[in-house]
Structure 1
């Protein structure tokens, strides 16, 4: 890893309060409308600035870490968001959708603030910073010594994202900007770096990354862009629409998952889930079931049967059975997988479930958790097709497990109790999500829960 020191570019401390005075009323309106804002439905009682760094001179491109304080816990630290804001006296017409607002007071009065990730000039600055390791104001940029990062690549933002923002440069690079940021290394950087050390080519290796100058928080990364790769979810739906099997793809995806798990187990420490840890896991899953059932009444008829999935797991732990736990993907489904034109699968987006605390996302789990997530994803895909074709899902689930066994020497189906527990827990999570956000989809996890409530 090479590194040099760039010229500090943080505004003076007094500038922070003046800048916030300029932007505060605009951000209060703009932030809640963003898909990645976690505090929807609650008013912002206060905004504070953790840091300000000029990425371009004269405040033309500002990097901000803004903390939004909201009830009911507005006495706490609030959620911290990463913003890249451009300001201009004359906004170009193509940037109209990116407008944050017209600034009427403070040091930026008379200028228009806008989301800089929509401006090719500004995202080119971000790429150049990623090409140049070192400290810049409150930020520190890192670069892998062996990676090739071209310059003068045409940038374009990706628009179909939720928890983060990404910019594609030409057809070769993609930068991910984490939006809601938490102290600590983000697994989406940590795990691909570990896999790169193991020469695992199933995951694009980071070429550069950046975070806070103290090294305490990951803010973004740059990776190769997989030109021509097909999203696993879209690919599965195309096969369903054409009434084509997906078993070959599912088998190869099982192999890819096993290779990633094997490499992670080599690269990072593993632990053993003994009786205490497994009983705690079963108890946590049981509490989640009971809490969700109170919020999703349609789940209530299945509760007694679903509880047996977790009781069976606790019983095995009581008999002395143990499981190896390791770092895993944490949120594995078809949409987190890309198949290149040669048919080679890669896994992406190792951030885990963004709503969960970072420390929880970095905890080791048996690989069954990832496997259960993928099995649920095949079921979801099958149920988007009318009429529903359960045989398609069953064939994919079986082929995926066979592929996993071919690469790892272990078939997940030989451990049905733990696999059932994780799949049940995942479907319970899905039921709560669908009830809150997509009620028309609620029958999908409910159908699975009806099956899972009946032990084999």
Structure 2
């Protein structure tokens, strides 16, 4: 193996030791860091690859870093007196290394290293440096390996050199660079071994000539089959290759659905035409995914397991969020009704889906065409779960919930949400041949499950938004009461 790739070794350990105090302070301040509010109990270098050696005027160090933290703040100690730990997260870092930092990169500073292999150097967030961002694009333009890193591309797509990079500052869980308003590179920050759906599904859709999703032009991974990966094990190559980033066409001039919906609503303009078009686009993507990848039938056992998992998530959320508890019995009827239908012999077709569909994951081009992006799924869920076939109505439920959120921005307008929900389902039916509302038990179960997830998320991260999913919970619980009355 090339010396450019440093497995956990004496040298890598010394390298991380010199960076450890700086990273412990810097990591919790990053928007994509998932462990906010918990101290860092340990750092371990999974891989360290010098894309540019530190002997250069400007070095670029690629790190996969395992971060250990206690499970829950204030939780009691384990029997041996140690604080219980949550499963370690693995993060992707690209660190610039210089002797001194120019003024234009002052905001990217991580710190000055005083000991170890990097002593005397300044370390900073490398993606803020145009020179290093350009280097990353060059690596993607030329397929091949650099240590454990593997760069791949679609050779039919032209990727010009010299495209000026700019860093986007709007994302939460990942980081994106735009190159010359021609391509956008999405870098995954928290990574796990296995096929990343945000690389896998757009590639499959491109093979189906689905114009609704930007086709990947290039992507890169870390091969961990011959060493310790983020999960601490070894296995088949696909299971041990971490997806790290994907380069796709940048849809210049496009507006994301969330911003467009809020702007049109603020102007008093109807969004129903856009919602109907978005429903058609969603159905087209679902049809292409069903053609590209295997579908499965969910029979009695699978439906009952799905309903049980939804009920377990409700129980856990109600324990964590007291405001949810009064509605739990009514919400539970949604999952019981689903299990009952499964027990009566009702089955459904499941397939690969987007997994986290909402208005912010949709882009409308200046000519009015809608595209779907960000197929990573809900990052908090395990990768294996995100890659499972699901009923397409799961994506539909996510979008219906998104209309509720948009209708709650400012003055609550339930009629606006209702009109958009109806238009979206009607547009979906125009392509799919079946309106999701004709399967009310399945739709209610998935919308309830999504609303419960939102309650827990908002309570933990955005308490001011908690009334939005609670309003949906109230409605969905009442739907259960009405069903019981009948």
Normalising to structure 2: TM-score of the pair? Answer: 0.90
Match of 1:335 in 2: 360
How many Å apart are 1:28 and its aligned residue?
A: 1.0
How many Å apart are 1:71 and its aligned residue?
A: 2.4
SS at match of 1:320: coil
> In 2, Cα distance between the equivalents of 1:434 and 1:7?
46
SS at match of 2:219: strand
Match of 2:344 in 1: 319
Match of 2:439 in 1: 415
1:57/1:324 CA distance change after superposition, 3 Å: same
TM-align CA RMSD: 1.6
1:97 aligned to 2:80?
Answer: no
1:128 aligned to 2:138?
Answer: yes
Match of 1:30 in 2: 26
1:191 aligned to 2:201?
Answer: yes
Residues paired across the two proteins, number: 450
> In 2, Cα distance between the equivalents of 1:392 and 1:452?
18
Match of 1:237 in 2: 262
The gaps in structure 2 that reach 5 residues or longer are: 72-82, 226-236
How many Å apart are 1:78 and its aligned residue?
A: 2.1
The equivalences for 1:71-90 within 5 A come to: 71-72=70-71, 78-90=88-100
> In 1, Cα distance between the equivalents of 2:205 and 2:31?
30
CA offsets per residue over residues 162-196 of structure 1, 9 Å max, x none? 11111000110011111111000100000001101
The equivalences for 1:253-272 within 5 A come to: 253-272=278-297
Match of 1:401 in 2: 425
Counterpart among 35, 44, 58 of residue 39 in structure 1: 35
Match of 1:62 in 2: 61
Match of 2:189 in 1: 179
> In 2, Cα distance between the equivalents of 1:304 and 1:290?
10
How many Å apart are 1:11 and its aligned residue?
A: 5.0
The equivalences for 1:54-453 within 5 A come to: 54-58=50-54, 60-72=59-71, 78-213=88-223, 214=225, 216-386=241-411, 388-453=412-477
CA offsets per residue over residues 227-276 of structure 1, 9 Å max, x none? 00001000000011011110110000000000000000010111111011
1:171/1:7 CA distance change after superposition, 3 Å: farther
> In 2, Cα distance between the equivalents of 1:423 and 1:74?
34
How many Å apart are 1:89 and its aligned residue?
A: 1.2
Structure number with greater CO (CA < 8 Å, separation at least 6) is 1
> In 2, Cα distance between the equivalents of 1:329 and 1:370?
6
> In 1, Cα distance between the equivalents of 2:197 and 2:155?
21
